[in-house]
Amino acid sequence: EAQVTQNPRYLITVTGKKLTVTCSQNMNHEYMSWYRQDPGLGLRQIYYSMNVEVTDKGDVPEGYKVSRKEKRNFPLILESPSPNQTSLYFCASSQLGELFFGEGSRLTVL
Amino acid sequence: AQSVTQLDSQVPVFEEAPVELRCNYSSSVSVYLFWYVQYPNQGLQLLLKYLSGSTLVESINGFEAEFNKSQTSFHLRKPSVHISDTAEYFCAVKGGGADGLTFGKGTHLIIQP
């Protein structure tokens, strides 16, 4: 089954404790992206990757890092999380402009 | 750069009534247009898309959207809604080149029995 898988689905952490949200897709898509969803703001792009070893900033990249060492994986790294990064995060991969989303990761930073 | 405006943050309608969710976009290049749906506690799913060809596109569950280039709109319609259509609906645009999708802020469709 074609899918995008994110982990963890839910996480509560404290300010400053580094965390990684993993994302993996099995559709051989070159393009992958991370979004955050906040009430009243819709989805905003954090980072995206056109292919292996190629990443670029989206609209709200501050406080995040990504890497793309393999085509299927695109982890999102929060080196020092802060409460304003409490949000619902979605990973997506794309073919011909159509995005396929993961189920989402709800992150709470205390 | 592209932008998307969804004019209504919430749209309450009665079951079996028709509904229209409005979406306007701005772009300096040719665009692809999408509607995504997010059911409660789930990720986003593609509802329908316009890439080229016929300006009227349909989904399998009765929704349709019409691409209107002169009005830069891609409004979503359904002639008769069901309680199961309760969800958040996002309009999105992709411009030419390598850009990802730009999303609107979403419209919460609330179906009242």
Q: Give Cβ neighbours of residue A109 (< 8 Å, ≥ 6 apart).
A: A13, A14, A15, A81, A82, A83, A84, A85, A86
- Cα dihedral A70, A71, A72, A76 sign: positive
pLDDT digits (tens, 9 = 90+) for B32-85: 899 999 998 888 999 999 988 888 999 988 999 999 999 999 999 999 999 999
Q: How far is A57 from chain B (nearest CA, A)?
A: 11
Look at A18-22, A28-32, B29-33 and tell me which has the smallest mean pLDDT.
Answer: B29-33
DSSP designation for A76: E
Asked if A101's CB is within 8 angstroms of B45's CB, the reply is yes
Closest CA to B45 of A40, A23, A25, A90: A90
CA distance B106 to B90: 5
Asked if A45's CB is within 8 angstroms of B32's CB, the reply is no
Q: Which of B90, B94, B105 sits opposite A97 (nearest CB)?
A: B94
Q: Which residue has the tokens 């990064």?
A: A85
Within 69-108 of A, beta carbons closer than 8 Å to B belong to 90, 94, 96-104
pLDDT digits (tens, 9 = 90+) for A42-91: 899 999 999 999 999 998 999 999 999 999 999 999 999 999 999 999 99
| CA end-to-end span of chain A | 36
Q: How far is A64 from chain B (nearest CA, A)?
A: 18
Q: How much of chain A, in percent, has pLDDT values that exceed 90?
A: 86
